[in-house]
Structure 1
Amino acid sequence: MGKKRRTHAVLSVLVIMVLIIGMIPGLASADTSDGSTWLAWLSFATSADSTLIAGETDNINVQLWDNNSNPFSGSVASATITGSDGVSKIYQISGNSGDYTISNVTLETAGDYQLVIRQGAIGTAFASGTITVLDAKTLITDPLYINTNNTVRVKVTDADGNPLMRKSGTVDGSLVGASTVSYTTLSDGTFTFSMTPTLYGNVNIDYAGHIIGTIPVQPAYSQSTRIGGTSSDNVSLAISVAQSGWTAGAQNVILTRDDQFSDALAAAPLSKKLDAPILMTSSSKLDDRTLTELQSLGAKNVYIIGGTVAVSQGIQDSLSGEFTVTRIAGQQAYDTAAQISANVGIDPTQTVYIANAYAIPDAIAISAFAAEQGSPILLTEQNSVPASTAQALANLKAGNVILLGGTAVIDSSVENELSSKYHVKRWGGFDRYDTENIIFQNLFNTDTPQSPIYFTSGLVRQDDVSSGEPKADALVTAALAAKQGGFVVMLPQNSLPSSLNYFLLFNKGYIKQTSVIGNNNSISLDLESQLKQMLVH
């Protein structure tokens, strides 16, 4: 009985082996008794041959091998490609000596497809492989505005993010009153096109018969909802600005006093570097609202700007149990600015901006631009350069210095002193608003306009208000503007100064988005409406 069982077991194994051999592609009906060879397996010539783009017509190059692992030299009957839906299509295949080409393959839907190539003489001998089809996608850098000559940059990739190089397609503007333009991608997958839509709608980017990207036509100008419209003081306004710009939270936060701003004039470039909103508190006791916002932002690090007179030691101690606290401070405001500059750093080819420590509007006017550039802001006295400012300039190895304000705020003696060591320019007007205008004329880029513009109160000095605190709207918004790529325009509550009126009218075609900051005592409803009517185009 034992021998019979062993015999049956051996026979069973042999049967299973025969079945397995019969299932191997290319071996099912092979007869090797005469020494013949047959098609056994395939490999794709390149990775591009096994990965296609949906809708694209292409040739697939394969290498065929026989059962002896030599290039297959026989004839092939067909190449069949089958999708996951079970639908098959037969394609023409040609070639010899192992190298074959399947011509004019077009697969419209992303997914995996099975390729089967059958031998001509032995129809059941075959080789197979998998073709992956990916959708093409676009990364669109620029918006399209109505009735504006737009230049738009686009990158075309496959679904895995690989650039599609030297591919041609069209940008269809017919639905928005514009023409259809052709494109060919560069070696990095990018292309640029220009278009002037005259209707609202969508512009479609087409490739290989597929819409791979859509660009909606936007109004040429829009005014966003007012930020901090219900704020009652500087603390609540700073919180509203932080909540608007740092919706995902902030690991770093800058904390400064809420009633006097000289210490924080240079803070915007630090804010940009740290990606940190600016919050405020009274000097003696941490405001409960500020603590709540620190916790809500998920802050880990708090940077206090100014000495213990500006933000008390008691506030620092109360924060130290929950946050890592760093104080950046000097004896005077220009000393603090010098300390901040050491944290910001600079490329020697860039610019350092210098404002009078008491000309608060001039320093704030440059804040967002300086932050975008990564350029420090330093402070000076009217008639002499403080030692800390001079040392900071030396430490930064500054090449270019721009003085902000006319000779009434920074005397020509300061300009002469600095000109012996640095390339010095002065941007100054007859008042704070004219100086703003001159700064904007020098830095507003019409090729890639900074946006949005934030309209804020110009009442930033204690002398500007007969009672209560000066408005911190512009100071804290400079951090938001730097984060968003825009800048701050300071205005009186109810009127538009002629110099700024000129700047806005002259550049209205490049101004796409604005927002008003603060309550009606900062920018009145009438002025907000006037700005909107002026800038609509």
Structure 2
Amino acid sequence: MKKTIVLSALFALSLPFAQVNAAENAPTYRYAGENRFDTSVALADEWLESDVAVLATGRNYPDALSATPLAAKHEAPLLLTDTKSVPSKVLAKLKDLGVTKVYLIGGTGVISADVETQLKNNGVKTIVRIAGNDRYETSVKVAKEVGMNSGTLVVASGQNYPDALSIAPVAGIIQAPILLTRSTDLPGVVKTYVKSANADYSIVAGGSSVVSAKATETLPDMVRLGGSNRYTTNTQIVDFAVEEGIYDMDYPFIATGADFPDALSASALAAGLFNGVILTDPNEPKTTTKETVQFYSDLVEEYQVVGGEKALPDSTIAKLFQ
């Protein structure tokens, strides 16, 4: 049964229970389209209306990794676009929601000027492009747009996507910008922003092999959430978020950890529901992932599965409970 969610002030949400499709476990609901762009539209279907939308590229991850807190700030959906054109279903969803302002994340190399023209021709009045010379400067510019009201910074590797996606709902909920770093050192533009931001706390997503001790030297009052791989890091982040009262775990999202688009699109909706995204191996779930799912199962009203059967088969979801 389809849910309808109105995202309003402070993410005040109303969500009806879904029909049960499993006896012993909470039911599942799958958000899926024919491709990554359509899946982002399926997730955006939960908004009845929104003046604002955030568009990130569905073709590569670096610039998109910082987008979730910005979408959460505006209580807006996070949709994916192709490089040179906006997919027809995404355009239709923008019109259906009444979107008048779109944030484009990344330069013209990842989202071309043709996309801006297409959006304007389809009724979008205001387009704000946030882009730097590289992924690290882009993350800083997004951070400036998000603001520092929370007093907390989130730092994740910009050289791969899993850890940033795992922490994205946390960052969205607490309104902490996501800054990207190299594994060996904090890029100069990021270091300058950290110094000027005067944050009280920082959360580092990922173990020391992906974000080294050297890269964290200038970060304030740091908490590191990192395991030996993307799945153990994801578990540490979920556990932390539950312990800190950030996640409710009543409507947790489950997405593949083998690619970025589905988990990225889901992160804004997950933040709006005060829930996280659990990443799983799409073929054979890791023991830590299964333990995480089963440990919080008593809290779950419904699992939100993201992506089609090819991305995340029903058989894999079933294995999470075995």
Quick check: TM above 0.5? Answer: yes
> 2 CA distance for matches of 1:318 and 1:441?
42
Runs of 4+ in structure 1 deviating by more than 3 angstroms, as ranges, are: 445-448
Measured after TM superposition, the shift of residue 142 of structure 1 is 11
Aligned counterpart, 1:103? none
Aligned mates of 2:250, 2:73 — CA distance in 1: 19
Counterpart of 1:364 in structure 2: which amino acid?
A: L
- Higher percent of residues as helix: 2
Percent sequence identity is: 25
| Preserved CA contact (<8 Å) 2:238 2:276 | no
Among 509, 514, 517, the alignment partner of 2:303 is 514
Match of 1:529 in 2: 318
1:457 to 230, 239, 256: 256
**Is the contact between residue 446 and residue 510 of structure 1 (CA under 8 Å) also seen in structure 2?**
no
Please show how residues 480-519 of structure 1 align to structure 2 within 5 Å: 480-519=269-308
1:136 matched residue in structure 2 = none
Measure, in 1, the Cα distance between the counterparts of 2:101 and 2:147: 20
Match of 1:318 among 114, 118, 123: 118
2:42 alignment partner in structure 1? 240
Is the contact made by 1:220 and 1:512 (CA closer than 8 Å) also made in structure 2? no
2:199 to 383, 389, 398: 398
Residue 254 of structure 1 deviates from its aligned partner by: 0.8
Aligned length: 301
Q: What does 1:150-229 align with in structure 2 at a 5 Å threshold?
A: 222-228=26-32
8 A contact 2:29–2:303 mirrored in 1: no
Contact 2:26 2:297 in 1 (8 A): no
Match of 2:139 in 1: 337
**Could you tell me which residue of structure 2 aligns to residue 260 of structure 1?**
60
In structure 2, what is the equivalent of residue 111 of structure 1? none
Matched, 1:428 2:226: yes
Alignment match, 1:110: none
What SS class does the counterpart of residue 280 from structure 1 fall into? strand
1:95-137: CA deviation from partner (whole Å, max 9, x where unpaired): xxxxxxxxxxxxxxxxxxxxxxxxxxxxxxxxxxxxxxxxxxx
Q: Matched residues in 2 for 1:402 and 1:515: separation?
A: 26
What pairs with 1:140-159 in structure 2 (closer than 5 Å)? none
Report the more deviating stretch, 283-292 or 503-512: 503-512
Q: Which residue of 1 aligns with 2:158?
A: 357
Cα separation, partners in 2 of 1:220 and 1:525, compared to 1, 3 Å: closer
SS of residue paired to 2:31: coil
Q: Quick one: distance in 2 between partners of 1:347 and 1:278? A: 21
User: Does the CA contact (< 8 Å) of 1:238 and 1:280 recur in 2?
Assistant: yes
Partner amino acid for 2:83? Answer: S
CA distance in 1: counterparts of 2:273 and 2:207, whole angstroms: 30
**Pair 142,235 (structure 1): closer, same or farther in 2 beyond 3 Å:** closer
- Two-structure CA RMSD over aligned residues (Å): 2.3
Aligned: 1:478 with 2:267: yes
User: Can you list the C-alpha shifts for 1:15-62, whole angstroms capped at 9, x where unaligned?
Assistant: xxxxxxxxxxxxxxxxxxxxxxxxxxxxxxxxxxxxxxxxxxxxxxxx
| Inter-partner Cα distance in structure 1 for 2:140 and 2:14 | 37
Q: Which ranges in structure 2 are unaligned for 5 or more consecutive residues? A: 1-12, 18-22
Q: Say if 1:453 and 1:489, in contact at 8 Å, map to a contact too.
A: yes
Post-superposition shift, 1:305? 0.5
Which residue in 2 is equivalent to 1:328?
130
Secondary structure at the aligned position of 1:526 is classed as helix
Q: Which amino acid aligns with 1:272?
A: A
| Normalised TM-score (structure 2) | 0.87
With a CA cutoff of 8 Å and minimum separation of 6, indicate the structure with the bigger relative contact order: 2
Distance 2:223 2:84 in 1: 40
Structure having the larger proportion of residues in strand: 1
Larger radius of gyration: 1
CA distance in structure 2 between the aligned counterparts of 1:306 and 1:291, rounded to whole angstroms: 19
3-state SS of the aligned residue for 2:210?
A: coil
C-alpha distance in 1, partners of 2:224/2:156? 10
Give the corresponding residue for 1:108.
none
CA separation in 1, counterparts of 2:249 and 2:136?
29
Q: Which runs of 5+ in 1 are unaligned?
A: 1-140, 146-218, 461-470
Residues 336-371 of structure 1 deviation map (CA, whole Å, 9 limit, x = unaligned): 1111111111236x3211011012100000011111
Give 1:492 deviation, angstroms: 1.4
| Deviations 1:482-527 (CA, angstroms, capped at 9, x unpaired) | 1122111111112221112222233333333312111111211112
